[in-house]
């Protein structure tokens, strides 16, 4: 193979082209995987298998949202926090239907690229947990999501109107909350749950 020798601008341009191609292929692969899982979910007769597949489909969709942002910003080191919030919440509305109310408010301007996928997955898990366990006494699921930034920290907050839960007890039986804890550590964040009226789940992580 012949070595490439070019100017610094040509090398940067080639690097961006290769990254674009990589992101494009990864995006297509995620879409294919998403379609295959949806087909499997429709065909299975097992309610347990259907739940596992549905959870996986939502996770793949949230990763796809982050990947789409990667593809759209090209060489930038940041992605839009507002667009990430909008995309993951929009996916959740499609999956959970009109019986679930999800509102969001994002004041964070941008996020480091390396936090986008973990944050999208965390938000997806917290929305899923709220839908499964956060119904109020009238059977309604009302979720509010916020993403803000202050003093060098980003804060993601997901709150529902249900009975709330004890994080220590729930973590032991919930694979989703275990995943949230692992992802929080990955981005050097701190995850906490407050039981008030409803459950208030908060992830704070540095603006790396």
First to last CA, the chain: 38
- Tell me how far apart the alpha carbons of residues 86 and 201 are, in angstroms, rounded to a whole number: 18
What confidence category does residue 1 fall into, taking pLDDT thresholds of 50, 70 and 90? Answer: very low
Give pLDDT tens digits for 76-93: 668 888 899 999 999 899
Give pLDDT tens digits for 126-167: 999 999 888 888 888 999 999 998 888 899 999 999 888 877
Contact 109, 76 (CB under 8 A): no
Q: Spell out the domains of the chain, with CATH numbers in brackets.
A: 8-206 (3.30.565.10)
More confident residue, 183 or 32: 183
DSSP single-letter state for residue 151: T
Helix, strand, coil % (nearest 5) of the chain? 55, 25, 20
Q: State the sign of the Cα–Cα–Cα–Cα dihedral 63, 69, 71, 74.
A: negative
Short-list 35, 39, 65, 41, CA closest to 54 = 41
Short-list 132, 126, 142, 133, CA closest to 177 = 126
Q: Can you give the pTM of this predicted structure?
A: 0.80
Give pLDDT tens digits for 58-70: 888 888 888 778 7
């Amino acid at each position: 193979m012949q070595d490439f020798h070019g100017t610094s601008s040509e090398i940067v341009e080639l690097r961006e082209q290769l990254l674009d191609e990589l992101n494009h292929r990864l995006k297509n692969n995620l879409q294919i995987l998403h379609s295959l899982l949806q087909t499997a979910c429709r065909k299975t007769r097992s309610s347990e298998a259907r739940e596992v597949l549905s959870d996986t489909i939502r996770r793949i969709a949230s990763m796809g949202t982050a990947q789409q942002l990667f593809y759209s910003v090209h060489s930038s080191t940041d992605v839009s926090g507002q667009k990430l919030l909008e995309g993951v919440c929009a996916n959740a509305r499609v999956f959970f239907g009109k019986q679930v109310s999800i509102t969001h408010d994002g004041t964070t301007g941008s996020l480091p690229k390396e936090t986008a996928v973990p944050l999208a997955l965390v938000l997806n898990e917290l929305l899923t947990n709220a839908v499964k366990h956060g119904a109020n006494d009238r059977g309604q699921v009302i979720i509010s999501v916020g993403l803000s930034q202050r003093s060098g920290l980003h804060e993601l907050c997901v709150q529902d109107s249900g009975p709330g839960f004890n994080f220590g007890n729930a973590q032991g039986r919930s694979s989703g909350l275990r995943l949230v804890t692992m992802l929080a550590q990955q981005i050097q964040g701190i995850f906490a749950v407050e039981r008030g009226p409803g459950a208030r789940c908060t992830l704070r992580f540095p603006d790396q």
